[in-house]
Amino acid sequence: MLSYEGVPAPLAHLIEQLSGLPGIGPKSAMRLGLNLLAKEPTQVQQLASALAELHQSMGFCEVCGCFSEHNHCLICNDHRRDHRVICVVEQPVDVLMLERSKTFSGVYHVLHGRLSPMDGVGESQLTFAALAMRLAQKDVAELILATSATVDGEATAHYISQRFHAVPGVNISRIARGVPEGGELEYVDEYTLARALSQRTRWQGSGTNVL
Ligand SMILES: [Zn+2]
């Protein structure tokens, strides 16, 4: 715990706020606070404006649930993407991470969580009903389940597969799990290795097999 003795109240207040951010401890918050104090007032004002506007101007896409500053996000509005393939993820940040891979040209559906009886998260708290509506209204060929590789993530994927497996024309797939890029086998746990072996893909020259 950092002592605020001798620290002027406005700076102490800023440090307290900054240290509530993920990955920033009290000492880092102090350094950031002092750094901001040393900057030109106009620069700090720009940062303050960006923070103040964040919640005013950002919301969620009405279709997929991802971050968006409009009713529909850029991905849902992009007609070059394959709207017949929906990748189901837990959080909006997962969309950003998958987009960074630059390999997926379909669209997304954000659940805003995962089933977790221990934490009191049931099906009504997630966006399954909206997903069911999308499947009923649109011609969807594939649902890719990209929930996390945890017990709750697996349970959520299982629930979706059970709920939607009978929808006509919709194939349900699960993202593969295995050895990470650049990973050496001796550092990979036996469960992951077993999954990597059982979900092996046909060699395609480059060693990758992008669906
Ligand atoms: Zn969207």
78 Cα to the center of ligand 1, angstroms: 9
63 domain-assigned: no
Q: pLDDT for 76-114, tens place per residue? A: 999 999 999 999 999 999 999 999 988 899 999 999 999
Shared domain check, 116 and 190: yes
Quote the CA–CA distance of 21 and 202 in Å, as a whole number. 44
* Averaged pLDDT, 55-82: 94
Give the model's pLDDT for residue 137: 92
Q: Is 110 left (phi over 0), alpha (psi -120 to 50) or beta?
A: beta
Domain count within the chain: 2
33 Cα to the center of ligand 1, angstroms: 36
* Averaged pLDDT, 171-185: 87
- Which residue, 156, 48, 148, is CA-closest to 94? 148
CA dihedral sign, ordered 154, 159, 162, 166: negative
CA dihedral sign, ordered 38, 42, 45, 50: negative
pLDDT of 69 over the 70 cut: yes
Question: Where residue 27 sits, what CATH number does that domain have?
Answer: 1.10.8.420
Round the average pLDDT of the chain to a whole number and report it: 91
* pTM, two decimal places: 0.79
Give the model's pLDDT for residue 209: 55
93 Cα to the center of ligand 1, angstroms: 13
Angle between helices 128-137 and 151-164 (to 10 degrees): 40
141 Cα to the center of ligand 1, angstroms: 18
Tell me which residue has tokens 């002027």: 8
Give the model's pLDDT for residue 2: 59
Quote the CA–CA distance of 31 and 53 in Å, as a whole number. 25
pLDDT of 9 over the 60 cut: yes
Question: Domain range holding 31?
Answer: 9-57
Q: Which band of pLDDT confidence, cut at 50, 70 and 90, is reported for residue 198?
A: confident
* Averaged pLDDT, 119-134: 95
Give the model's pLDDT for residue 195: 85
Give the model's pLDDT for residue 204: 72
| 18, 42, 57 - which closes a domain | 57
61 Cα to the center of ligand 1, angstroms: 5
| Token output for 83 | 């709207």
Shared domain check, 171 and 96: yes
204 Cα to the center of ligand 1, angstroms: 33
pLDDT of 66 over the 70 cut: yes
Give the model's pLDDT for residue 48: 93
